[in-house]
Structure 1
Amino acid sequence: MTIADPSLGRIVSGRQQPSTPAHAPAREPYLRMSWTDPETGAVGHLVVDTLVSGLATGGTRMRAGCTLREVEDLARGMSNKTATFDLPVGGAKGGIDFDPKDSRAYGVLTRFCEAMRPWLDRHWVTAEDLGVPQHLIDDVFDDLGMGQSYHAAISRSADPARTTDRVRAGLHATAPGGPLGDVIGGYGVAQACLAATEHRGWDVTHTTVAVQGVGTMGGGAAWYLHDAGTRVVALADALGTLYDPTGLDVPALLETRNEYGEIDRDRVPASVHLLPREAVLSANVDILIPAAVSYAITADNCDGVTASLVVEAANAATTPDAEAGLTRRGIAVLPDFVANAGAVAWAWWLLLGYVDDDPAVSFERLGAEMRNRVSGLLYSWDLGERPVRAVAHAAMGQRPMYAEIHIP
């Protein structure tokens, strides 16, 4: 056990075996670390699954009930994402068991980052995740004198000031649907859906979609799918499901969201049906996008899924037994480490100078990369009975270690 500065809380690291993860690992993660906040008793976790070039990347989430098992699953997923997109970095994740709506949440996040500072200074590149928007974690990093949450990578660059300017310009560039840094992940999910639509020969304008979650990932995916001409017929937030079989006015509804990603029910048209939150999973649609919480589709509810394609915009959205059941029914589950990896891929392209603050350049690159991967996976999946996830794992191949990484 390692004791940090007592003012920062208690940190425990080790190789203890957690409960069985959602997708059973073949190896142990590089590091597990847990921390207890001295002021609130909140518990936070860091899991570094892999280190590549001495770096690992993955967001920090905050939600009541967040567990070490969950963070470990997510860290493993980050390793899969960076491998899928051939990024010169490993996978990690942070998670805090605390309600992000609590007035003390900013202090908890600040103390967690301060406790994890040895990793955030040199090895762990973090970003937004569930309950922690990018602007909030950037404010914490600024308060702690690290400037921006990509600090560990930026500090390695040839010109940290120039790299910081490039990162900030890219994150805040104005794109259709919102700031580029907020919408790029959802754009990638939408491109994954459109690639699947093309692969299956569906007419985009007759393709129906249901989205669970209207945060940056789910909201962005819904916006770009609506913009492409698909019919988004169901949107679910924490308050329930909005349903209109003729198609929802996605941009208008998203405009009414509050800071917690909840749509203002007073501004929902009378023609829209107000259904229970869980109804989105059983909506009669072609594509279901779980974009809210992990483990949303389980053995208990997967029989209600009628969509022929599930696209995981949330991390670890489908449990293994649910995925097996869906696969047996001929329902393809496009795994998170492909479908929602656009955000992390884009962030590293921005760090490495492959893209800049021009949204058109970012959209063109991400769209092409996502279409190639998804069409190839679905083609291979159509030839066999394995889950799409197994096909994607097989396609990863061996990772180079990137002994040197050049960030301009």
Structure 2
Amino acid sequence: MTTLNPTGGTPQVTSQTVSTTPAATAPAPATRRSEPYLRLHWTDSLTEAVGYLVVHTLRGGLTTGGTRMRAGCTLGEVEDLARGMANKTATFDLPIGGAKGGIDFDPKDPRAGAVLERFCEAMRPWLDAHWVTAEDLGVPQHLIDEVFEKLDLDQSYHAAIRRSADPAKTLERVRNGLNAAVDGGFLLGDVIGGYGVAHACLAAAVARGRAPGETTVAIQGVGTMGGSAAYYLHEAGMKVTTVADAAGALYCADGLDIPALLDLRDGYGEIDRARLPEGITALPRNAIISADVDILVPAAISYAITPDNSFDIRAHVIVEAANAATTPEAEAMLAARGIPVLPDFVANAGAVAWAWWLLLGEVDDVPDTSFDRLRTTMHDKVAQLLTAWTDDDITPREAGHRWADDPAPLIGRVVIP
């Protein structure tokens, strides 16, 4: 294990080793167990918070992955998430490796911002030169950007921006893209990941021969990812009948008014129950898992679907908006029941793919350009995954892993304009 001085001292590193229902004998999803490139372990002397950086792969000297904060975050969790990021970047042919940061601390604690700042200061050698990070569970993008500004690193994409031919121009392009206004009063950088998830769901409906208006959806989590996915599914005409946040689940058989509910969210992505519109039924939080819908979207926490609750699932397709939302054992049990799981490293990879398209100058601050490219890419990939499922009895995760195991060759140093 690697230990970092909590005041930001020199790291001490030690090496470490359609019908979309195929036959009930569908193979279990593959589980990758390769060792990460690097693990860093940090302890905060002021709060005793513990943090981790896991670099699963490094390509061209760069790696990417968000930083999360939650009470109970573990090294094993961060390792799983870093592995998932490596799969995302390889699957979408991005010239970068995969990593993840995690802090075991309550993001609602008033000391959380200072803890994040000290964590980033400790990880500064990696953030300065190699690790491109961003928002994740418990850490909004604006907060991590504020920390980077305090550390004179400008913005959380700093490690890539500093390599560009014109860092000031690249930083301006990134900021303009992240802050581009889109319909609904949102910012492009906040909704692009959820937009990709929504189109993974729409592509799954097409594979099942269902029109959007005939398709029902349940979404666990209405934060940045789940909320924007719900918004774009609602816009596309899908019936979002059930959503859940930390306070419980909300249900309406005729479909929830998603824009109205999103307007009732607080800063932690929780809906104000005192101002709910009429006609909504409040249910226990875990009712989301057993919702009688076509598509279930776990968009809140890792390991939401386990062997213990997998038999409660009534949905026909699972679309992972949260990272590592389904345990391998639960996914094998779902496969045996003929329920495919669209893996996170495809379904929710829109945000990281878009960030790199933006960094590389392949998209700009015109939202339609970004939406068109992500929509086309997501529909193509999901169609391939579900064709492998129906035609060849290959789980979507295994089919996706085959892409990830054969990334595009990286020749020389990444050139960022």
TM-score of the aligned structures, taking structure 2 as reference length: 0.94
Instruction: Measure, in 2, the Cα distance between the counterparts of 1:302 and 1:3.
Output: 38
Among candidates 179, 183, 201, match of residue 176 of structure 1: 183
Among candidates 198, 210, 213, match of residue 205 of structure 1: 213
Instruction: Measure, in 1, the Cα distance between the counterparts of 2:12 and 2:347.
Output: 33
Is 1:405 equivalent to 2:404 in the alignment? no
Distance 1:331 1:401, change over 3 A: same
Verify the 8 A CA contact 1:23 1:319 in the aligned structure 2.
no
Distance 1:15 1:301, change over 3 A: farther
How far did residue 196 of structure 1 move?
A: 1.0
Verify the 8 A CA contact 2:199 2:378 in the aligned structure 1.
yes
Aligned-partner SS, 1:274: strand
Q: How does 1:19-98 map to 2 (within 5 A)?
A: 24-98=31-105
Distance 1:325 1:355, change over 3 A: same
Instruction: Measure, in 2, the Cα distance between the counterparts of 1:288 and 1:9.
Output: 45
Q: Which amino acid in structure 1 is aligned with residue 373 of structure 2?
A: R
Verify the 8 A CA contact 2:4 2:43 in the aligned structure 1.
no
Verify the 8 A CA contact 2:4 2:41 in the aligned structure 1.
no
Deviation readout 1:28-54 (Å, 9 max, x if unpaired): 110011000010000000000000010
How far did residue 206 of structure 1 move?
A: 1.3
Match of 1:130 in 2: 137
Instruction: Measure, in 1, the Cα distance between the counterparts of 2:8 and 2:403.
Output: 42
Deviation readout 1:359-385 (Å, 9 max, x if unpaired): 000000000000110001101111133
Verify the 8 A CA contact 2:90 2:403 in the aligned structure 1.
no
Q: Which amino acid in structure 2 is aligned with residue 371 of structure 1?
A: H
Match of 1:260 in 2: 268
Q: Which amino acid in structure 2 is aligned with residue 326 of structure 1?
A: L
Instruction: Measure, in 1, the Cα distance between the counterparts of 2:7 and 2:15.
Output: 25
Distance 1:94 1:197, change over 3 A: same
How far did residue 6 of structure 1 move?
A: 5.5
Instruction: Measure, in 2, the Cα distance between the counterparts of 1:121 and 1:101.
Output: 27
Q: How does 1:320-359 map to 2 (within 5 A)?
A: 320-359=328-367
Verify the 8 A CA contact 2:302 2:322 in the aligned structure 1.
yes
Match of 1:186 in 2: 194
Match of 1:287 in 2: 295
Match of 1:7 in 2: 7
Match of 2:118 in 1: 111
Distance 1:397 1:68, change over 3 A: closer
Moved over 4 A (4+): 1-6, 9-13
Instruction: Measure, in 1, the Cα distance between the counterparts of 2:90 and 2:7.
Output: 37
Instruction: Measure, in 1, the Cα distance between the counterparts of 2:70 and 2:166.
Output: 36
Verify the 8 A CA contact 1:208 1:233 in the aligned structure 2.
yes
Verify the 8 A CA contact 2:148 2:155 in the aligned structure 1.
yes
Among candidates 241, 244, 249, match of residue 252 of structure 2: 244
Verify the 8 A CA contact 1:12 1:34 in the aligned structure 2.
no
Instruction: Measure, in 1, the Cα distance between the counterparts of 2:223 and 2:248.
Output: 14
Match of 1:373 in 2: 381
Verify the 8 A CA contact 2:6 2:43 in the aligned structure 1.
no
Higher relative contact order (CA 8 A, sep 6+): 2
Q: Which amino acid in structure 2 is aligned with residue 8 of structure 1?
A: G
Distance 1:40 1:369, change over 3 A: same
Match of 2:230 in 1: 222
Verify the 8 A CA contact 2:242 2:252 in the aligned structure 1.
yes
Aligned-pair identity (%): 64
Aligned-partner SS, 1:131: coil
Verify the 8 A CA contact 1:157 1:163 in the aligned structure 2.
yes
Among candidates 363, 374, 383, match of residue 391 of structure 2: 383
Q: Which amino acid in structure 2 is aligned with residue 105 of structure 1?
A: A
Alignment gaps of 5+ in structure 2: 18-28
Distance 1:40 1:305, change over 3 A: same
Instruction: Measure, in 1, the Cα distance between the counterparts of 2:308 and 2:4.
Output: 42
How far did residue 2 of structure 1 move?
A: 6.3
How far did residue 3 of structure 1 move?
A: 6.2
Instruction: Measure, in 1, the Cα distance between the counterparts of 2:4 and 2:54.
Output: 17
Among candidates 336, 353, 364, match of residue 372 of structure 2: 364
Is 1:167 equivalent to 2:174 in the alignment? yes
Instruction: Measure, in 2, the Cα distance between the counterparts of 1:134 and 1:325.
Output: 36
How far did residue 9 of structure 1 move?
A: 7.4
